[in-house]
């Protein structure tokens, strides 16, 4: 069985893949100080609590936080007797090309989303990931990653607004009933929700025009379901896009190794 780990700037997701489906998924906050032993105590406790029996033989990691990778390597080696594949490292091959400026380091999560999107939907895609940052990844007709766009994340924007303006409260993002707010919270929610709808629509339109071909727009990430409420913004929503990509990359490397 495969343990797939997606470590983002805010949360880290652990999923167990049995070769056919994910049998369990858990989230924890991303903390680079967390030791290999702490990871194991946390994971094994949850597995026991939910009666999940899994003989983990392989581990693959995608991490946008480089400092956590060392302890995850130790975790995999110490408790599962395996050296994990780490996306972005030379020893972890990708089934797609990466065509960007020489010397550019592309985030592992963006590469994994590209692999997953191409595997599920084919080429000519825009993958919009609502994470700590809102990213737009462009997938060419042959599955290659050819660049994208990075914008501030929704919650990051709300937090910045709250911190920079003393009179503005912290609010939870939701779709407002009306565009014109009649109180401070409604005004902020409208600005963020419709502002990001406009941002996504405009950026995707410009990418399509520049790409010169019709493209499908795929959404993923924690706040993606919220923005699915905006009509005609996305063609598909995929909750487990990154995790699916990790299974594809793992399988590809196993086949290369023979």
d(CA 200, CA 196): 6
In the prediction, which pLDDT does 65 show?
Answer: 92
Q: What is the pLDDT along the chain (258 residues), one digit of tens a residue?
A: 999 999 998 899 999 999 999 999 999 999 999 999 999 999 999 999 999 988 999 999 999 999 999 999 999 999 999 999 999 999 999 999 999 999 888 999 999 999 999 999 999 999 999 988 999 999 999 999 999 999 999 888 888 887 887 677 888 888 888 999 999 889 988 999 999 999 999 999 999 999 998 999 999 998 899 898 887 899 999 989 999 999 999 999 999 987
In the prediction, which pLDDT does 131 show?
Answer: 87
Dihedral over alpha carbons 28, 32, 33, 36 (to 10 degrees): 70
In the prediction, which pLDDT does 232 show?
Answer: 86
Hey, which residues does 219 pair with through a beta bridge?
Answer: 128, 237
Buried-exposed string 158-181: b where 16+ CB fall within 10 A, e elsewhere: beebeeeeeeeeebebeebeeeee
d(CA 170, CA 157): 11
Q: Which of 6, 77, 101, 109 is catalytic?
A: 109
Per DSSP, the three-state class of 121 is: helix
pTM over 0.95: no
Number of neighbouring beta carbons within 10 Å of residue 137 = 27
Handedness of CA 161, 163, 166, 167 (dihedral sign): positive
In the prediction, which pLDDT does 100 show?
Answer: 95
In the prediction, which pLDDT does 231 show?
Answer: 75
In the prediction, which pLDDT does 176 show?
Answer: 87
In the prediction, which pLDDT does 158 show?
Answer: 83
In the prediction, which pLDDT does 164 show?
Answer: 81
In the prediction, which pLDDT does 127 show?
Answer: 98
In the prediction, which pLDDT does 161 show?
Answer: 80
Q: Looking at the chain, how many residues does it have? A: 258
In the prediction, which pLDDT does 63 show?
Answer: 95
Per DSSP, the three-state class of 185 is: helix
Per DSSP, the three-state class of 240 is: coil
Whether 109 is a known active-site residue: answer yes
Phi, psi (deg, nearest 5) at residue 109: -60, -35
In the prediction, which pLDDT does 163 show?
Answer: 81
- Retrieve residue 6's tokens: 């997606």
Number of neighbouring beta carbons within 10 Å of residue 9 = 16
């Amino acid at each position: 069985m495969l343990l797939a780990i997606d470590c983002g700037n805010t949360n880290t997701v652990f999923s167990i893949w049995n070769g056919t489906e994910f049998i369990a998924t858990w989230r924890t906050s991303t903390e680079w100080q967390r030791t290999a032993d702490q990871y194991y105590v946390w994971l094994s406790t949850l597995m026991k609590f939910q009666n999940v029996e899994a003989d983990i033989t392989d581990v693959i990691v995608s991490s946008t936080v480089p400092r956590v990778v060392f302890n995850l390597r130790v975790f995999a080696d110490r408790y599962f007797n395996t050296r994990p594949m780490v996306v972005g490292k030379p020893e972890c091959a990708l089934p797609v090309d990466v065509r960007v400026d020489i010397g550019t380091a592309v985030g592992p999560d963006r590469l994994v989303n590209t692999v997953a999107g191409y595997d599920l939907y084919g080429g000519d895609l825009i993958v919009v990931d609502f994470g700590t940052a809102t990213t737009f990844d462009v997938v060419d007709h042959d599955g290659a990653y050819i660049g994208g766009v990075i914008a501030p994340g929704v919650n990051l924007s709300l937090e910045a607004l709250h911190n920079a303006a003393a009179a503005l409260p912290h609010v939870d993002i939701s779709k407002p009933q009306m565009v014109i707010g009649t109180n401070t919270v409604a005004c902020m929610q409208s600005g963020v929700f419709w502002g990001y709808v406009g941002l996504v629509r405009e950026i995707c339109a410009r990418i399509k025009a520049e790409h010169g071909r019709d493209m499908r727009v795929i959404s993923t990430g924690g706040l993606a379901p919220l923005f699915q409420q905006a009509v005609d913004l996305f063609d598909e929503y995929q909750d487990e896009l990154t995790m699916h990509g990790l299974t594809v990359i793992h399988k590809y490397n196993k086949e290369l190794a023979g």
